[in-house]
Amino acid sequence: MHIPDGYLSPSTCATLFGTSIPFWWVAMRRLKHRLMSRFVPLLSLFAAFSFVIMMFNLPLPGGTTGHAVGMGVATIVLGPSGSIIAISVALFIQAFFFGDGGITALGANCFNMAIVGSLVAWATYRLLSGCAPLVSPRRVIAAGLAGYTAINVAALCAAIEFGIQPLLFHDASGAPLYAPYPLRIAIPAMMIGHLTFAGLAEFIVSAGVVAYLQRNEPWLLKTTASDVDDEAPGTREQGTRVLWFALAALMILTPLGLLAVGHAWGEWSARDFADAAARSEIAAASGNVAPPNQAPRGMERLSAIWTAPFNGYAPPFLRSPGLGYAMSAMLGTGLVLLTFLLARLVVHRREPRSSGTFS
């Protein structure tokens, strides 16, 4: 679901980036006063969790791959504003340092996964959980369905963005300039895998984490259940520490994500369009409709705009793909922590001058 550089036109990228800005602004405004509290480690934790969980690729129908995002559980614990910021930070780091998602398409990826995904997860969870007690099984099911719905709506947004490109952006001969497949191919190709395996993975992640929190740290579920009277103080230090240990275990296990072969649909490189084996893979995943003989001109031009230093989660100084993948997970987590640490320092320095501006 990470749209690479070259699949969306510059105007589409600019529109989606501009659309994302008000959501980022509102989210930051609402979180600003919480950046001086223990909420910052939680933002870091779930941003890092989203970063790492997206490295666990799953085989999907058609020979493609997909992954969970963690948007459901991030929204339930952090609220929609916190989830928007946390997942946006994870996507930013993935794009700039690891080449997972394009620099030009960063606004689109954040709009789909961080913004739309978080808002859909929040609305679904609130609707289905109602005023059930924090430890109610109803909240576990609501969490799973929130994650499942969110990732599928996010995938649908990406499919529409892919599918409108050949309709709106083509040369004089009608050849597409960016993503080559129309809506009738892009939507089924994206949605079949997400409605099944990727959606199920998001369901399991969201429901499983919420079930764990209910038993051990129900206080973490209060953000999106402020109207519930349950007393759930929990042991915050211990609970956070256990979750960080769980994240560390996931980082060690990330090489399992390399077992799924193939690319996610719509994430082929421009070079793949000239490779016979890759062309066969693209066609098989696209309703047996062959791709263009060459990469679309706009795609080829934009795809070279940025080369990530650890492209493909493969540090150039490590020969072992598995070790490189695990090291990339650790590096990405470190960058997430550094980002929120710097944000906290900035807010701390500005707080005396603007303490009366935000509530």
HEC string of the chain?
Answer: CCCCCCCCCHHHHHHHHHHHHHHHHHHHHHHHHHCCCCHHHHHHHHHHHHHHHCCCCEECCCCCEECCCCHHHHHHHHHHHHHHHHHHHHHHHHHHHHCCCCCCCHHHHHHHHHHHHHHHHHHHHHHHHCCCCCCCHHHHHHHHHHHHHHHHHHHHHHHHHHHCHHHHCECCCCCECCCCCCHHHHHHHHHHHHHHHHHHHHHHHHHHHHHHHHHHCHHHHCCCCCCCCCCCCCCHHHHHHHHHHHHHHHHHHHHHHHCCCCCCCCCCCHHHHHCHHHHHHHHHCCCCCCCCCCCCHHHHHHCCCCCCCCHHHCCCCCCCHHHHHHHHHHHHHHHHHHHHHHHHHHHHHHHHHHCCCCC
* Least-confidence region, from 64-78, 87-101, 336-350: 336-350
The per-residue pLDDT for 262 is 85
The per-residue pLDDT for 356 is 41
Average pLDDT of the residues of the chain: 92
pLDDT at 193 over 50: yes
Q: Tell me the pLDDT band of 7, cut-offs 50, 70 and 90.
A: very high
Per-domain boundaries in the chain: 10-354
Q: Tell me the pLDDT band of 337, cut-offs 50, 70 and 90.
A: very high
The per-residue pLDDT for 230 is 62
The per-residue pLDDT for 352 is 56
Backbone dihedral angles phi then psi of residue 170, each to the nearest 5 degrees: -150, 165
The per-residue pLDDT for 351 is 65
The per-residue pLDDT for 355 is 43
* Least-confidence region, from 93-97, 236-240, 277-281: 236-240
The per-residue pLDDT for 237 is 45
Higher pLDDT, 231 or 316: 316
pLDDT at 66 over 70: yes
Q: Tell me the pLDDT band of 34, cut-offs 50, 70 and 90.
A: confident
pLDDT at 358 over 50: no
pLDDT at 227 over 90: no
pLDDT at 38 over 80: no
155-185 pLDDT tens trace: 999 999 999 999 999 999 999 999 999 999 9
pLDDT at 84 over 50: yes
The per-residue pLDDT for 287 is 93
The per-residue pLDDT for 347 is 76
The per-residue pLDDT for 87 is 98
Higher pLDDT, 114 or 31: 114
252-281 pLDDT tens trace: 999 999 999 888 999 999 999 999 999 999
Class of domain 10-354: mainly alpha
Q: Tell me the pLDDT band of 359, cut-offs 50, 70 and 90.
A: very low
277-311 pLDDT tens trace: 999 999 999 999 999 999 999 999 999 999 999 99
